[in-house]
Amino acid sequence: MRSLLRSVLAEPRAPGAPTRVWRDWVLLGLLMPTAVVEAIFRPDLPWRWPTLALALLLLPTLLWRRSHPLAVVTLGFGSMLTLSVGQLVADPAESPGLHTMAILLLALYALFRWGSGRDVLLGTAIVIATGTVAVIADYTGIGEAIGGYTVLVIVMLDGAAVRFLSRARRRELEQVRSTEREHLARDLHDTVAHHVSAIAISAQAGLAVSPTRPDAAVEALRVIEAEASRTLAEMRAMVGVLRRDDPAELAPTPSLADIRRLAGSGAAGPPVEVEIDDTLGDVAPAVASAVFRLAQESITNARRHARRASRIVVQVTGGPDAVRLRVSDDGEPGDDHRNHGGYGIVGMVERADLLGGTCIAGPGPGRGWVVSADIPLHGAPS
């Protein structure tokens, strides 16, 4: 029990809590006149105008329920607790509260969705105290008392469930990004190793022929200089890219030419047509590998999800500074579930971003789905 309490107290606030969104203003705009109308048309409401004034003061605090959940719960339910105590003292025939104030359950939801563990414990104590005093002050039977507590528990569980589902999704997204960094780092590592091997061989050759052919030694130095420059560029690209200590894959790094191997009919899904601009200039190996991976993933997604598509078109073009990839299909428009739940697009965006480029995926202008990527020829600038 103590370990559970310590873990709850150590729970930080959930990240990414929005301050206010347009729906909050719409909700507030509807609740304020609703509270006024309820106060006017409930002649049996005790302490009518003080209760209305309190409601009009409390409702705007819901705008801060995500950024300051404990404060909003304390103000809202603390005020309801005060009213219940007043009811016990004055013993009115009806509960001195507006039904509109049930909207404070949103603050309770926000407490469990966004608050820290300490906030949740303190806020829950306030809510339970308020509910207990309210039941004593306005007891109408065990059934309604259980029903009221059940509503509170459902709201709490709902907020906690959404919180932990969001946390699980964040972890999965981070795992996808980490995997893409690892794959890119491996590609860069293989490229750098290739350049370093060329430098070592050129240096050995230059040393071997320098006594008899000084001009060959000079040529070897030129090769070493070129390879060293390429190696430095690839090393700069590798800085900041995370890599685990797992053994590197021994498969060769794919190039732009390997994209042609993706053409043709697969075991499932529409055939693939590949168009590559043969005038593309010097493309860094890491960039070529990234373009291949993006095309491969896009084709896999299209074959898996494109409904009634007749073909998939892969186009690789370029300019003086960047290489561009466009993968499109002619599947049916509509609610394409490639836009939900999966993490393939997240990984593609991450890989392009690590190389200083962009990747966008979405419905095509007419039919199907389009993936567009634009990556600098030599990767991210140093």
Please state whether the predicted TM-score (pTM) of the whole model is above 0.75. no
Tell me which of 321 and 380 has the higher pLDDT.
321
Higher confidence at residue 181 or residue 45? 45
Does residue 341 carry a pLDDT above 60? no
Does some domain include residue 250? no
Residue type, position 156, single letter: M
Mean pLDDT of 304-315: 86
Helix/strand number for the chain, H first, E second: 10, 5
The H or E element spanning position 215 is: helix 214-238
* Domain presence at residue 219: yes
The yes-or-no verdict on residue 13 having pLDDT over 90 is: no
Residue 256 pLDDT greater than 50, yes or no: yes
Dihedral in degrees, nearest 10, Cα atoms 358, 364, 369, 374: -20
- Classify residue 361: in a domain, yes or no: yes
In a domain, 146, yes or no: no
Helix ranges (H only) for 313-371 are: 344-354
Amino acid type, 296: Q
Range of weakest confidence among 143-147, 245-249, 280-284, 286-290:
245-249
Regarding beta strands 312-318 and 358-363, do their DSSP bridges make them parallel or antiparallel, or are they unpaired?
Answer: unpaired
pLDDT tens-digit map of 199-240: 767 677 666 667 777 776 667 676 776 666 666 656 655 554
| 113-117, 297-301, 365-369: the lowest-pLDDT one | 365-369
Q: Final residue of a domain: which of 139, 160, 189?
A: 139
Q: What is the pLDDT of residues 155-180, one digit of tens each?
A: 999 999 999 998 888 888 777 777 76
Residue 103 lies in a domain: yes
**pLDDT tens per residue, range 29-55:** 999 999 999 888 887 777 888 888 989
Chain-centre distance for alpha carbon 159: 19
In whole angstroms, how far apart are CA 256 and each of 171, 259, 274?
Answer: 32, 6, 11
Together in a domain, 264 and 366: yes
Q: Beta-strand (E) ranges in the chain?
A: 272-276, 312-318, 322-329, 358-363, 369-376
In one letter, which amino acid is 174? E
Q: Is residue 215 part of a domain?
A: yes
Residue 382's pLDDT is 46
Domain extent for 199: 173-238
Question: Given this model, what pLDDT does residue 268 score?
Answer: 67
Same structural domain for residues 206 and 317? no
Q: Does 165 reside within a domain?
A: no
- Total residues found in the chain within this entry: 382
Are residues 190 and 262 both part of a single domain? no
Residues 68 and 133 in one domain: yes
Number of domains in the chain: 3
Co-location of 269 and 303 in the same domain: yes
Domain annotation covers residue 162: no
Query: Residue 382: which of 351, 356, 344, 348 has the closest Cα?
Result: 356
Q: Are residues 211 and 328 in the same domain?
A: no
Share of the chain above pLDDT 70, in %: 76
Q: Are 331 and 306 in contact (CB under 8 A)?
A: yes
Specify whether 218 is located in the same domain as 260: no
Tell me, yes or no, whether 131 and 6 share the same domain. Answer: yes
Q: Round the average pLDDT of the chain to a whole number and report it.
A: 80
